[in-house]
C-alpha cells in the first residue's frame, strides 16, 4: 500500500502506471466477484454477507487510501479503467448490462466508503430484475434511492441530435461524460454527486462545457410527498387498473370472438399474463386466471370455441406446472412475508405425478417452516400412489428432509407405513433415528412396539432414553416387566446416571401395580453391610420412580419412608422432597410449588 498523500488518477498517467493500477483494480474486482458468488450460494445467511465481501472491501479501501477515487467506465459487458478492462462477462445477466441499458456510463468509488455501502451496492448489482420491474423503476432510480454517499454515477439518456450521425453524437457525448467524470472526481466543494443528461441538454450550443454546470436541474424540486404521490398513482394505474382491464379484455375476446386459428396467439397472451403475475408474486391472481378458464368453459358457446377454450385451459395448466414457474412459486414460499396458503395449494394442485420429483426437491431445499408445511400437504395428495418416492429419501442426511418424508408418509397412511418408518432406526445419524422413534411412539399399531423395544437396545444413549419413555407411554403393561428386568440386572447401577434415572422414571410412568410393588420391595429389602451402598442407590432410584408414578399410593410409600430411620440421610432428604412435590401435584398445584407437611 502506498504511503504519504493520496494521488489523483483522473488525469493522464504513464502507460506503466495505468497498467499497474488496472491490475490492482482487477484484483479488487476478482475478490468482489468471489464475494458475490458466496452470497449467491449462501443467500439466506444474511448475517455473513459482510464477511464474504471483507477481502474485496479491504482491497478497495487500500486502493482508495492511495488514490482517493476509483473511476470505472461501464459498457454492456465490461468495466474499464482508462480503456483497460478489469471485468468482462458476455452474459446479459452480468453485473453491468442492466446499468448500461438504463444509461449509466461511469461509477466512481470514493475514499472513505463504508463496508455497508459496498454491500448495498453489491446486492443492487447482483439482483435479478425483470422487464416488468424495470418498467416500474429503472436501475438508475434504484441507485438514486439508495442515497449512496461514496459511490457516484454518470447517466446518459435520450440521444437524438438533429442531423448528426450516431458517431458524431457519441463523440460530443463522450466529451460531456469526460467532463462530468472529472467533476465527480474533483476535490472542490461543488462536487456533482450524480449527473443525468437528457436530449434537451444536447441541444445547447456548447462552446464551453462549463455551461452545463448548474444547468442540469431547473425548476422547483419535487418534495418527498410529491414523489410518493406520483409513484403511488402510477403504480396503482399500472398494476390495478390497466392490467386488470387488459386481462378482462383478453377473456372477453376469448369468450365472444375467438376462433380455433387464434389458439396460439391467445395462449401466448395468457402465458405472458401468468408470468407477469408470478414476477409480482401474485399467486392468487395466477389461480384466478385458471378459475376464469373453468368458468367460461361451462358457458353455452359454439362447439368449436368451447373445445378451443378447454384445450387452452389444459395447456395453460401444464404451463403453470413448468419448472421455471414452479421455481417462482418456490421463491414466493421462501421469501414472501404474507403467504397466501390457500392460493399456493390451489396453484400447486395443477401439478401431476410428473412434477412429483421437482416438488420433492423443492421441499428438500425449503428452509421456511410454513413453506415446508404447505408442500407436505400438497405432496401427500399428488404422491398418494407413489409412497416409494418418499420412502427412498428416508436415508437422507438431513434430519429435516427425513422428518418431512415421515410426515408425508403418515398423511398418505399406506399399509406398510410402520415398516417404512422403522427404516430410520438404522440410519447412521442419531437425530434421524430419534425422529423415527418419535414417530413410532405416536402410532397405535402393535407392530410399532417391536421396533421401539429394538430401539431400547440401541448403542446410542439418547435412543435408549427415548425408547424407555416411549414404551411406558405406548404400552404400560408391556413396558412394566421389561423395565423391572432392567432395574434388577446386575449392570443397572453401573449404567450412566441419566440412563438409571430414565429407566426408573419410565417404570414409574407406567403407573402399574407392578411398578408400585417393585419400588416398595426395594425399600423393604434387608441389605447386608457390604450391600448397603447398592441398596442406598436403588432406594434413590425408587424415590425417582415413585414420584413419576404420580399416585396417592406412591405418595403414601414416600411419606412412610420419610419416617423410616433405617434409610440414609440422603434417601430421607430425597424422599421428603419427592413427597412434597408429589403432594403439590396431586392437589392440583404446579410441580415447583412445594408445600410443607
Residue 149 lies in a domain: yes
pLDDT in the model for residue 330: 93
Both 208 and 235 in a single domain?
no
CA angle, residues 298, 302, 304, in degrees to nearest 5:
100
Both 147 and 237 in a single domain?
no
Side by side, which strands form the sheet with 78-81? 84-88, 78-81, 69-74, 104-110, 151-156, 194-197
Determine which helix (DSSP H) or strand (DSSP E) holds 110, and give its type and residue range.
strand 104-110
Both 207 and 240 in a single domain?
no
CA distances to 169, 344, 378, 491 from 372, in Å: 56, 12, 10, 45
Both 200 and 267 in a single domain?
no
> Residue 245's domain spans which residues?
226-320
CA distances to 46, 140, 320 from 352, in Å: 35, 43, 11
Both 316 and 177 in a single domain?
no
Both 71 and 147 in a single domain?
yes
Alpha helices in 302-429 (DSSP H): 303-320, 323-335, 341-348, 356-365, 369-382, 387-391, 399-412, 417-422
Domains in the chain, number: 3
The answer to pTM > 0.75 is no
pLDDT in the model for residue 513: 95
Based on its alpha-carbon atoms, the radius of gyration of the chain, rounded to whole angstroms, reads 37
pLDDT in the model for residue 405: 94
Contact 22, 86 (CB under 8 A): yes
CB-based contacts of 298, cutoff 8 Å, min separation 6: none
**Spans in the chain with pLDDT lower than 50:** 1-7, 131-132, 134-135, 158-163, 165-166, 189-219, 529-530, 591-597
Write down which residue in 302, 320, 338 finishes a domain. Answer: 320
Both 161 and 237 in a single domain?
no
Both 102 and 207 in a single domain?
yes
Residue 333 lies in a domain: no
Query: Distance between CA 541 and CA 486 in Å, rounded?
Result: 13
pLDDT in the model for residue 129: 57
Residue 368 lies in a domain: no
Query: Distance between CA 293 and CA 316 in Å, rounded?
Result: 9
Residue 35 lies in a domain: yes
Both 245 and 302 in a single domain?
yes
Query: Distance between CA 164 and CA 113 in Å, rounded?
Result: 41
Contact 74, 140 (CB under 8 A): no
Both 279 and 194 in a single domain?
no
Write down which residue in 212, 243, 278 finishes a domain. Answer: 212
pLDDT in the model for residue 176: 55
Write down which residue in 320, 342, 374 finishes a domain. Answer: 320
The sign of the dihedral angle between the CA atoms of 435, 441, 445, 448 is positive
Residue found under cell 438533429: 162
Both 97 and 174 in a single domain?
yes
- Give the residues across from 72 on adjacent strands: 107
pLDDT in the model for residue 128: 67
pLDDT digits (tens, 9 = 90+) for 431-474: 889 989 988 988 888 889 999 999 999 999 999 999 999 999 88
Both 116 and 249 in a single domain?
no
Amino acid at each position: 500500500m502506498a504511503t504519504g498523500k493520496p494521488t489523483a488518477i483522473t488525469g493522464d498517467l504513464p502507460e506503466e502506471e495505468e497498467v499497474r493500477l488496472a491490475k490492482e483494480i482487477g484484483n479488487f474486482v476478482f475478490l468482489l466477484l468471489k464475494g458475490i458468488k458466496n452470497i449467491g450460494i449462501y443467500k439466506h445467511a444474511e448475517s455473513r454477507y459482510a464477511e464474504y465481501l471483507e477481502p474485496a472491501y479491504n482491497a478497495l479501501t487500500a486502493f482508495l487510501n492511495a488514490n482517493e477515487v476509483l473511476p470505472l467506465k461501464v459498457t454492456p459487458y465490461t468495466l474499464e479503467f482508462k480503456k483497460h478492462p478489469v471485468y468482462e462477462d458476455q452474459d446479459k445477466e452480468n453485473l453491468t448490462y442492466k446499468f448500461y441499458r438504463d444509461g449509466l456510463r461511469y461509477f466512481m468509488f470514493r475514499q472513505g466508503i463504508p463496508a455497508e455501502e459496498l454491500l448495498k451496492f453489491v446486492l443492487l448489482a447482483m439482483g435479478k430484475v425483470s422487464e416488468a420491474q424495470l418498467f416500474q423503476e429503472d436501475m438508475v432510480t434504484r441507485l438514486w434511492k439508495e442515497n449512496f454517499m461514496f459511490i457516484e454515477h454518470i447517466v446518459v439518456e435520450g440521444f437524438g441530435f438533429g442531423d448528426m450521425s450516431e458517431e458524431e453524437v457519441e463523440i460530443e457525448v463522450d466529451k460531456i461524460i469526460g467532463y462530468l467524470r472529472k467533476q465527480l472526481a474533483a476535490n472542490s466543494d461543488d462536487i456533482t454527486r450524480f449527473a443525468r443528461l437528457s436530449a434537451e441538454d444536447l441541444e445547447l450550443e456548447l462552446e464551453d462545457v462549463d455551461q452545463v454546470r448548474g444547468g442540469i436541474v431547473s425548476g422547483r424540486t419535487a418534495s418527498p410527498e410529491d414523489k410518493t404521490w406520483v409513484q403511488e398513482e402510477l403504480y396503482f394505474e399500472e398494476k390495478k387498473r390497466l392490467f386488470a382491464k387488459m386481462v378482462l379484455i383478453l377473456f372477453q375476446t376469448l369468450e365472444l370472438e375467438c376462433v380455433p386459428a387464434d389458439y396460439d396467439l391467445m395462449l401466448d397472451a395468457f402465458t405472458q399474463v401468468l408470468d407477469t403475475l408470478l414476477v409480482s408474486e401474485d399467486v392468487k391472481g395466477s389461480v384466478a386466471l385458471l378459475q376464469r378458464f373453468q368458468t367460461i368453459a361451462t358457458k353455452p358457446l359454439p362447439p368449436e370455441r368451447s373445445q378451443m377454450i378447454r384445450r387452452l385451459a389444459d395447456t395453460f395448466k401444464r404451463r403453470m406446472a413448468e419448472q421455471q414457474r414452479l421455481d417462482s412459486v418456490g421463491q414466493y414460499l421462501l421469501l414472501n412475508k404474507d403467504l397466501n396458503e390457500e392460493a399456493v395449494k390451489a396453484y400447486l394442485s395443477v401439478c401431476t405425478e410428473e412434477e412429483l420429483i421437482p416438488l420433492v426437491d423443492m421441499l428438500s431445499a425449503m428452509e421456511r417452516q410454513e413453506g415446508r408445511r404447505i408442500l407436505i400437504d400438497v405432496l401427500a395428495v399428488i404422491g398418494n400412489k407413489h409412497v416409494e418416492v418418499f420412502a427412498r429419501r428416508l436415508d437422507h442426511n438431513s434430519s429435516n428432509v427425513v422428518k418431512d418424508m415421515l410426515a408425508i408418509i403418515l398423511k398418505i397412511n399406506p399399509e406398510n407405513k410402520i415398516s417404512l418408518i422403522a427404516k430410520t432406526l438404522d440410519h447412521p445419524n442419531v437425530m434421524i433415528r430419534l425422529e423415527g422413534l418419535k414417530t413410532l411412539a405416536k402410532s397405535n399399531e402393535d407392530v410399532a412396539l417391536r421396533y421401539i423395544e429394538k430401539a431400547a437396545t440401541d448403542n446410542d444413549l439418547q435412543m435408549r432414553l427415548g425408547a424407555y419413555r416411549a414404551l411406558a407411554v405406548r404400552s404400560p403393561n408391556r413396558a412394566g416387566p421389561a423395565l423391572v428386568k432392567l432395574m434388577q440386572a446386575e449392570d443397572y447401577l453401573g449404567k450412566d446416571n441419566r440412563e438409571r434415572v430414565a429407566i426408573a422414571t419410565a417404570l414409574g410412568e407406567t403407573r402399574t401395580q407392578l411398578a408400585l410393588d417393585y419400588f416398595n420391595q426395594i425399600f423393604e429389602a434387608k441389605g447386608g453391610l457390604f450391600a448397603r451402598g447398592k441398596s442406598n442407590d436403588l432406594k434413590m432410584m425408587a424415590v425417582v420412580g415413585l414420584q413419576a408414578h404420580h399416585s396417592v399410593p406412591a405418595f403414601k410409600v414416600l411419606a412412610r419412608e420419610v419416617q423410616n430411620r433405617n434409610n440414609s440421610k440422603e434417601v430421607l432428604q430425597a424422599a421428603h422432597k419427592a413427597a412434597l412435590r408429589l403432594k403439590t401435584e396431586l392437589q392440583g398445584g404446579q410441580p415447583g410449588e412445594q408445600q410443607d407437611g
